[in-house]
Protein backbone atom coordinates (compact mmCIF):
# COMPACT_ATOMS: atom_id res chain seq x y z
CA UNK A 1 0.00 0.00 0.00
CA UNK A 2 1.25 3.46 -0.86
CA UNK A 3 2.04 5.84 1.96
CA UNK A 4 -0.48 8.60 2.61
CA UNK A 5 2.16 11.22 1.81
CA UNK A 6 2.79 9.70 -1.62
CA UNK A 7 -0.95 9.51 -2.32
CA UNK A 8 -1.40 13.12 -1.21
CA UNK A 9 1.39 14.31 -3.52
CA UNK A 10 -0.33 12.53 -6.41
CA UNK A 11 -3.65 14.23 -5.54
CA UNK A 12 -1.93 17.63 -5.25
CA UNK A 13 -0.45 17.14 -8.73
CA UNK A 14 -4.03 16.85 -10.01
CA UNK A 15 -5.14 20.12 -8.40
CA UNK A 16 -6.09 21.77 -5.10
CA UNK A 17 -6.76 19.51 -2.12
CA UNK A 18 -8.94 20.10 0.94
CA UNK A 19 -9.05 18.10 4.19
CA UNK A 20 -12.44 16.71 3.14
CA UNK A 21 -10.98 15.53 -0.20
CA UNK A 22 -8.06 13.86 1.59
CA UNK A 23 -10.40 12.08 3.99
CA UNK A 24 -12.65 10.80 1.20
CA UNK A 25 -9.92 9.81 -1.27
CA UNK A 26 -7.07 8.64 0.98
CA UNK A 27 -8.62 8.18 4.43
CA UNK A 28 -6.34 10.88 5.86
CA UNK A 29 -7.75 12.51 8.99
CA UNK A 30 -4.70 14.78 9.55
CA UNK A 31 -3.96 16.45 6.21
CA UNK A 32 -2.16 19.40 7.85
CA UNK A 33 0.31 16.98 9.48
CA UNK A 34 0.99 15.24 6.16
CA UNK A 35 1.44 18.63 4.46
CA UNK A 36 3.97 19.56 7.16
CA UNK A 37 5.90 16.35 6.47
CA UNK A 38 5.82 16.99 2.72
CA UNK A 39 7.10 20.54 3.16
CA UNK A 40 9.97 19.21 5.31
CA UNK A 41 10.73 16.79 2.46
CA UNK A 42 11.08 19.74 0.08
CA UNK A 43 7.69 20.09 -1.57
CA UNK A 44 6.52 23.67 -2.13
CA UNK A 45 2.90 23.58 -0.99
CA UNK A 46 0.76 26.71 -0.70
CA UNK A 47 -2.15 27.04 1.73
CA UNK A 48 -5.18 29.16 0.87
CA UNK A 49 -7.93 29.67 3.43
CA UNK A 50 -11.44 29.24 1.98
CA UNK A 51 -14.91 29.70 3.39
CA UNK A 52 -18.03 27.74 2.48
CA UNK A 53 -21.37 27.63 4.27
CA UNK A 54 -19.97 29.77 7.07
CA UNK A 55 -17.09 27.35 7.74
CA UNK A 56 -13.43 28.10 7.14
CA UNK A 57 -10.99 25.47 5.87
CA UNK A 58 -7.59 25.21 4.22
CA UNK A 59 -7.05 24.32 0.58
CA UNK A 60 -3.57 23.15 -0.40
CA UNK A 61 -1.90 23.60 -3.78
CA UNK A 62 1.38 22.17 -5.01
CA UNK A 63 3.57 24.77 -6.68
CA UNK A 64 5.13 23.82 -10.00
CA UNK A 65 7.85 21.21 -9.60
- The answer to pTM > 0.85 is yes
Q: Is the pLDDT of residue 1 over 70?
A: no
Mean pLDDT of 46-58: 94
Q: Which of 21, 25, 4 is nearest to 60 (CA)?
A: 21
CB 62 within 8 A of CB 38: no
β-bridge mates for residue 62, sequence order: 45
Multiple choice CATH, 4-62, 1.10.3470, 1.10.10, 1.10.357, 3.40.50: 1.10.10
> What are the extents of the domains in the chain?
4-62
pLDDT tens for each residue of 14-32: 999 999 999 999 999 999 9
Amino acid sequence: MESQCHQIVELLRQGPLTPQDALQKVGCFRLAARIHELRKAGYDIRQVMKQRNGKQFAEYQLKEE
